[in-house]
Amino acid sequence: MTEEKSANAILLLSCQDQKGLVYNISNFIYRHNGNIVHAAQHTSVTRKIFFMRIEWELNGFVIPREEIALVFKHVASQFDMTWDLHFTDTVPRLAIFVSRHPHCLYDLILRRRMGEIRAEIPLVISNHLDVKPMIEQFGLKFMHFPITPENKADQEQRQIEEIRKHNIDLIILARYMQVLSNRFVEEYPNKIINIHHSFLPAFAGAHPYQQAYDRGVKIIGATSHYVTEQLDDGPIIAQDVIKISHRDALDDIKLKSRDLERTVLAKAVRLHLENRLLPYGSKTVVFE
Amino acid sequence: MTEEKSANAILLLSCQDQKGLVYNISNFIYRHNGNIVHAAQHTSVTRKIFFMRIEWELNGFVIPREEIALVFKHVASQFDMTWDLHFTDTVPRLAIFVSRHPHCLYDLILRRRMGEIRAEIPLVISNHLDVKPMIEQFGLKFMHFPITPENKADQEQRQIEEIRKHNIDLIILARYMQVLSNRFVEEYPNKIINIHHSFLPAFAGAHPYQQAYDRGVKIIGATSHYVTEQLDDGPIIAQDVIKISHRDALDDIKLKSRDLERTVLAKAVRLHLENRLLPYGSKTVVFE
Amino acid sequence: MTEEKSANAILLLSCQDQKGLVYNISNFIYRHNGNIVHAAQHTSVTRKIFFMRIEWELNGFVIPREEIALVFKHVASQFDMTWDLHFTDTVPRLAIFVSRHPHCLYDLILRRRMGEIRAEIPLVISNHLDVKPMIEQFGLKFMHFPITPENKADQEQRQIEEIRKHNIDLIILARYMQVLSNRFVEEYPNKIINIHHSFLPAFAGAHPYQQAYDRGVKIIGATSHYVTEQLDDGPIIAQDVIKISHRDALDDIKLKSRDLERTVLAKAVRLHLENRLLPYGSKTVVFE
Amino acid sequence: MTEEKSANAILLLSCQDQKGLVYNISNFIYRHNGNIVHAAQHTSVTRKIFFMRIEWELNGFVIPREEIALVFKHVASQFDMTWDLHFTDTVPRLAIFVSRHPHCLYDLILRRRMGEIRAEIPLVISNHLDVKPMIEQFGLKFMHFPITPENKADQEQRQIEEIRKHNIDLIILARYMQVLSNRFVEEYPNKIINIHHSFLPAFAGAHPYQQAYDRGVKIIGATSHYVTEQLDDGPIIAQDVIKISHRDALDDIKLKSRDLERTVLAKAVRLHLENRLLPYGSKTVVFE
């Protein structure tokens, strides 16, 4: 998360665990005169999968950045890797979806202003009009897509068109109270991050505050995850919790939870934007 | 939790919320020359129930301890209170049930030795023989009740007889891997405390460690609760959590969870023994 | 923190511990037909001081709100109480001081917008101009008081005049990097809340991030406290912490700390505004 | 922390950061047919130091375990590395020092019994006799070294002799209330782990519970660190905290702290025994 002087390259990869992986990857970088600044790996013992995130300086690296993928492809194919190449000077573009509760949305906007999140926000989408004045006061583009059972498919189609038009890299559901259709979700695998206001898998679905209050739990939580076709069941990126007591009425729970939601979503977004996440199955490897 | 020089009396009570409750209870103590050392109350806004724990010095109180209940009964009946009277010099008697994982059992025994828990442990019951040598090394009584589907009803009956014979005040399920029958549970309302090795209501039932591992959660928890007929659904007394990551294999999760289980169960037991708990419905009021 | 239909009265009081306190206070409310909605007390065992916060409905209370203080004075003088009377429909007025790091300031402004904090913000004061455009974009009044060793006394005097003119009830130092003079601090006892970006008393004074980084601690914290003449030594209101590791560079520590600072300061401000704080000596009683 | 079928080798190393480190180390393992099971590295940006922990299976590795150090020495000298080689089937030997508070000692003994800590405990040393009966009941060797200002140097010399005689690998100060002399400490660099009952650097020195109580902090902590000549100033290995409130008297603080001390010390000991710690200056790299 430190500020880089010049840009770095980042490889995120996974493959079947086998001998020689670290050697071959580090050899690729070393023999082209690269200087590794961060490297982390993980092996899933149960699944025999190898995961790696490796970051090196472009400065001095003998392969021009446009050709790195071309050259690395040969290493990758040798081990049947799934991989992505990123550069730290890319500025990703976010679309933020929200309904009526704007705390996560405002939090992301302010973090971006203060340099905590490095991204553009070309698009804020809502099924309500509540946040429109504030968003426009912030100088951002607001689009209103009211959703009814009848117009949902059409509206989603129009949303997808806007997302394409604005070259969006990541969609953030910042307390967006509409369930996205499978068709929408399939369009953006591992490109939609949601914040759910409970400690998943507890209190999935509707009204998690009320569910937590009714059950009498002594701790509440918030969960940020990639969105998959199964509601509230995607790979978890970040979670946090806070203690509550019998003194906390439903409104107190909401207040405490909102602080969690803000920080947990912001953390998940930052991890994604810094290319620190490797989802697999219902899980994520998080290279913090 | 501080050490008292002489004994105190503790009233734990609940009733329909109404005017004059604090006045009448404090008047009862004041007009008999009692000195209140702790008092805490709570009103459930949604249910309009008033809860109170009030503790005062017996030293100087003009009603002899044997007659306090008799006199307070008149205050209580006026407001239709549910109430219990306790004295801080009572030493409660515990029966601890365990199966194969002894960490919570050993922890409770050592806390008692070091004065952290004020109680006797006249009885340790297990469906296995694993902990027998260690329990006897500690100088405690061990009883073996192997359970099969066929003998379960009989064995429970014999357990109940031992519990009666030993004048047990509180039953602790310290990782006891048998489900108690409704008949057993009904015998001891709010007198059986269990530790469940997950953050309830997430991962109720069997194999919570495995469930947490498979789901890919980033935080695990432990929950101590009163046992009711509905498995893992009784009023929650205490919960705690710890962060995990993709690096934690199933064995690491078990190790981390055991620390939680020890401290969460010990906390719940101490709260009960200090008469700080008022269960109602699926919840508890905890006067810490 | 729940929304009240009509206003309540709140008494915050402390005095030498003695018999009859709860009785006499509850009697005052009961005999004037008051309905207690919250009550909490605490007795400092070491100092023999009694603390209480008691809240009751004005609706139905037979003393008009203007005369409550007049009538209660007689109860208070009997026990030599220090006390304050508040009403839940008062909207307090805040002055927020800030230097270059605006995260706490923005956070408070947005929380107020979203109804999490019930107050007016008639005045934002800074020794720099950085936040001026944003504050004015929010529609708030910004005043610039650059501070030099030479002009400090004069500028503070002018600040005090503005604070008086705007009828400020609470001054918040939201990362204000100037030490207030004793003269200023004495003017506002228990009316100035600061956020310090460390877990006090560790890393008091300048550069707490750097100090924490250099020492190699595994946890960092933030502390909100009332400002007294002794720098970073006033009664602590709220603290929170977050884990760090060797992987966290100084910039990562700053990022993580800012989340703590926001929530800890907001919590302290809310506790003060809800009249839940009783400072005494170097400590606070917090009636959450 | 998972159980290995056959033994693994572990290299812990540090050196000046430079190109080719990962490549050369992984090449060493790969070209001798080793299978890496864990690898983690860290680069201190401010100090330009590279740290690594790498673990591979001995099974299939073509260099016999006795000769690995001999062969690796040539890689190490090329980069001027500081390094240690460990094997996962080694069972380290602990000496535990204690004074009057036995909770950490008992905790370590029970964790060892339950397989949470893989080590022998051939020696328990105390300046008091309190824990002698219990230690002997556990079947362990207890040695009594009462300390006075006059006999301290002699007693330490005798302790050192016992430590040598018993081939101790790690000394644990489990609430040992004597300050070790510089001479003793110098004998065991990074081989003595202490638990301090505060969140260091806050409340270093004597009576940290009382200090925390008097200051009115809202969170207390415990710190485990390597012992250096400067009291309470060695590299921190692990810390944890728990919230307290004005309701917590000094005895409550002690009770809550003891739970922290147990888990924090156990965690530090386990990290050391699993060769996951690289101390440097006043800090540690912790490869969890």
Query: Mean pLDDT across the stretch B163-177?
Result: 98
Residue A1, pLDDT > 60, answer no
SS3 D178: coil
Active site residue A251: no
The alpha-carbon radius of gyration of chain B (Å, integer) is 21
Question: Quick check: D26 and D105 in contact, CB under 8 A?
Answer: no
Q: What is the mean pLDDT of chain C?
A: 95
Q: What is the pLDDT confidence band of residue C46, given thresholds at 50, 70 and 90?
A: confident
Confidence of residue C3 (pLDDT cuts 50, 70, 90): very low
Q: Report which secondary-structure segment, H or E, holds D134.
A: helix D132-137
Catalytic residue among C80, C169, C214, C232: C232
Q: Distance (Å, rounded) from C-alpha A272 to C-alpha A89? A: 15
| B126 pLDDT higher than 60 | yes
Same domain, B248 and B145: yes
Same domain, B101 and B62: no
Inside any domain, residue A1: no
pLDDT at A46: 84
A–D CB contacts, 8 A cutoff, strictly below: 46
* pLDDT tier for residue A231 given thresholds of 50, 70 and 90: confident
Which residue in A267, A248, A265 sits closest to A197, CA to CA?
Answer: A265
pLDDT average, residue stretch A205-229:
96
Contact across the interface for D1 and B102, Cβ inside 8 Å: no
- Report the SS3 class of residue A138: coil
Q: Supply the pLDDT for residue D5.
A: 60
For β-strands A192-196 and B93-98, DSSP reports them as: unpaired
C87 has a pLDDT exceeding 80: yes
Residues A63 and A166 in one domain: no
- What residues of D are in the C interface, CB distance below 8 Å? 42, 44-46, 199-203, 214-219, 221, 235-241, 245-247, 249-250, 281-286, 288
Does some domain include residue B3?
Answer: no
pLDDT at C1 over 60: no
Q: Structure tokens of D202?
A: 């806050």
Query: How far is B71 from B80, CA to CA, in rounded Å?
Result: 15
D104 and D76 housed in the same domain: no
Token pair in block for residue B116: 């952290």
Give the three-state DSSP class for B113.
Answer: helix
Q: Specify the residue for token string 């969140």.
A: D199
The answer to whether residues D99 and D156 belong to one domain is yes
The whole-number average pLDDT for the span A147-176 is 97
∠ CA(D132), CA(D136), CA(D137), 5° rounding? Answer: 115
Domain boundary among D42, D70, D87: D87
Give the predicted TM-score (pTM) of the model: 0.95
Determine the distance in angstroms separating the CA of A218 from the nearest CA of chain C, rounded to an integer. Answer: 15
Residue A172 to residues A191, A227, C213: CA-CA distances in angstroms?
Answer: 8, 10, 33
For residue B9, name the pLDDT band (cuts at 50, 70, 90). very high
Q: Say yes or no to pLDDT of A225 above 50.
A: yes
Residue of chain D with shortest Cα separation from B2: D251
Report the b/e string of C38-74 with b at 16+ CB within 10 A: bbbbbbbeeeebbbbbbbbbbeebebeeeebeeebee
Q: Are residues B253 and B233 in the same domain?
A: yes
A254 in any annotated domain:
yes
- CB contact burial D19-51 (16+ within 10 A = b; e otherwise): bbbbbbbbbbbbeeebbbbbbbbbbbeeeebbb
Same domain, C108 and C223: yes
Q: Give B4's pLDDT tier (boundaries 50, 70, 90).
A: very low
Nearest by CB: D19 against A30, A40, A43: A30
Q: Average pLDDT over chain D, rounded to whole?
A: 95
Task: Give B59's contacts (C-beta < 8 A, 6+ positions apart).
Answer: B5, B6, B7, B35
**Omega of the bond prior to A122 within 30 degrees of 0, cis?**
no
**Which tokens sit at C181?**
């003079």
Check pLDDT > 80 for residue C4.
no
d(CA A103, CA A258): 7
Phi, psi of B270 (to 5 degrees): -65, -40
- Nearest C-alpha neighbor of C282 from the set C225, C215, C222, C208: C225
Tokens read off for D162: 């016992």
pLDDT reported for residue C5: 61
Residue B5's pLDDT is 60
The CATH code of the domain that includes A68 is 3.30.70.260
Per-residue confidence (pLDDT) for residue D6, from 0 to 100? 85
Q: Which value does ipTM take for this structure?
A: 0.93
Q: Are residues A109 and A231 in the same domain?
A: yes
Mark yes or no for CB contact A251/C102 under 8 Å: no
User: Between the CA of residue A135 and those of B63, B85, D143, what are the distances in Å?
Assistant: 68, 59, 72
CB-nearest to D259 from B113, B247, B263 is B263
Query: Mutating which of A106, A130, A245 best tests the C interface, going by the most C Cβ atoms within 10 A?
Result: A106
| Mean pLDDT estimate for chain A | 95
| pLDDT on residue B263 | 97
Q: Smallest Cα–Cα separation from A122: which of A173, A155, A166? A: A166
Residue B2 has pLDDT above 70, yes or no: no
Residues D81 and D23 in one domain: yes
Per the listing, tokens 């004069």 go with C154
Dig out the tokens for D37 from the structure: 């099971």
**Interchain pair B45, C243: CB under 8 A:** no
| Alpha helices per DSSP H over chain B | 21-31, 68-78, 103-113, 132-137, 152-165, 182-187, 208-215, 250-273
* Domain, as residue range, for C223: 93-286
Mean per-residue pLDDT, B82-95: 97
End of a domain among C52, C87, C122? C87
Q: Is residue A233 part of a domain?
A: yes
| For range C108-136, the mean pLDDT | 96
Q: Looking at the structure, do residues C80 and C222 belong to the same domain, yes or no?
A: no
Q: Residues B17, B89, B214, B232: which is the catalytic one? A: B232
Q: What is the mean pLDDT of residues B36-57?
A: 93
Query: Could you tell me the two tokens for D143?
Result: 């040695």
Do the beta carbons of residue A260 and residue A222 sit within 8 Å? yes
pLDDT value of residue D3: 44
Strand blocks (E) in chain A: 8-16, 36-44, 49-57, 82-87, 93-98, 120-126, 142-144, 170-173, 192-196, 219-226, 236-243, 277-280, 283-286
Residues A121 and A255 in one domain: yes
A/B interface, count of CB pairs below 8 Å: 85
Is the model's pLDDT at D2 over the cut of 90? no
How many angstroms away from the CA of A276 is the closest CA of chain D?
15
Is B33 strand, coil or helix?
coil
Would B197 be classed as within a structural domain? yes
Distance CA A106, CA C134 (A): 14
Domain assignment of residue C183, yes or no: yes
User: pLDDT tens digits for B226-245?
Assistant: 999 988 889 999 999 999 99
Interface of C with D (CB under 8 A): 42, 44-46, 199-203, 214-219, 221, 235-241, 245-247, 249-250, 281-286, 288
Is C38 inside any structural domain?
yes
Average pLDDT over chain B, rounded to an integer: 95
- Model pLDDT, residue A5: 60
Does an H or E element contain C258, and which?
helix C250-273
Specify the number of domains making up chain A: 2
CATH of the domain at B222: 3.40.50.170
Cα atoms in the 13 Å half-sphere on the side-chain side of B153:
2
| pLDDT at D283 > cutoff 70 | yes
Could you tell me which chains touch chain A, where touching means 3 or more CB pairs under 8 A? B, C, D
Report pLDDT digits (tens) over D208-254.
999 999 999 999 999 999 999 988 889 999 999 999 999 999 999 99
Percent of residues, chain A, with pLDDT higher than 90: 94
Residue D46 or A20, more confident: A20
Cα B28 from chain centroid (whole Å): 29
Phi, psi of D83 (to 5 degrees): -150, 160
Domain end marker among B87, B121, B144: B87
User: Has residue C243 been placed in a domain?
Assistant: yes
Do A9 and A55 form a contact (C-beta atoms < 8 A)?
yes
Residue length of chain C: 288
For residue C167, the surrounding DSSP H or E stretch is: none
**pLDDT tens across A65-88, in order?**
999 999 999 999 999 999 999 999
Q: How would residue A45 be classed by pLDDT, with cut points 50, 70 and 90? A: confident
For C200-222, write each residue's pLDDT tens digit. Answer: 999 999 999 999 999 999 999 99
- Average confidence (pLDDT) over B20-45: 94
Kindly state the average pLDDT of the residues A36-63.
94
**Closest residue of chain C to D264, computed from CA coordinates:** C218
On whether both D230 and D155 belong to a single domain, the answer is yes
pLDDT at A76: 97
Q: Indicate yes or no: CB of C37 within 8 angstroms of CB of B43.
A: yes
